[in-house]
């Protein structure tokens, strides 16, 4: 019988800057943050980049961010060049802690992209998956003890702390 306890969260990276929760960002948050610089997703990205929020990502999830954000429709909507998007993704990667995959959890969701997010969250010991689409992740995350939260709800909860 295998132990399904996630590994302890990393103590490196931006977690040591005083934040007590660990996040994993769904790809849709990264896309939304690039497409609209004034929305809640963009604010989440800024806070991760500044170290105010601790976040983790696996290599597979970072590659998913790149594959999706580089789609022509997202580049056009963001008004950014591929190089500019890559610069943001490189900065995010540097700001986030690595989530090495010790436990493979696939498939746990009908969407393989969601599986990447869930797997990274579980292996990083994340508290919250930040997503624009809770419906698709909520059940699988809850079964693993991980909460899902919309960017606007996360920001509101940070204001109330």
Q: How many CB atoms lie within 10 A of CB 77?
A: 13
- Residue 133 and residue 8: Cα distance in Å, rounded? 27
pLDDT at 3: 40
pLDDT at 4: 42
Tens of pLDDT, residues 106-159: 666 766 668 899 999 999 999 999 999 888 788 888 888 999 999 999 999 998
State pTM to two decimals: 0.85
pLDDT at 13: 41
């Amino acid at each position: 019988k295998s132990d399904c306890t996630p590994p302890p969260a990393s103590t490196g990276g931006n977690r040591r800057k005083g934040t007590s929760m660990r996040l994993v960002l769904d790809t849709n948050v990264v896309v939304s943050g690039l497409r609209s610089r004034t929305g809640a997703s963009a604010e989440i990205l800024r806070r991760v980049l500044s170290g105010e929020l601790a976040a983790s990502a696996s290599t597979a999830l970072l590659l998913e961010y790149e594959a999706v954000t580089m789609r022509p429709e997202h580049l056009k909507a963001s008004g950014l060049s591929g190089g500019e998007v890559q610069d943001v993704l490189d900065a995010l990667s540097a700001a986030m802690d690595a989530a090495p995959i010790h436990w493979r959890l696939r498939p746990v969701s009908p969407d393989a992209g969601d599986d990447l997010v869930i797997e990274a969250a579980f292996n990083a010991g994340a508290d919250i998956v930040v997503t624009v689409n809770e419906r698709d992740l909520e059940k699988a995350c809850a079964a693993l003890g991980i909460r899902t939260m919309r960017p606007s709800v996360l920001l509101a909860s940070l204001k109330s702390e």
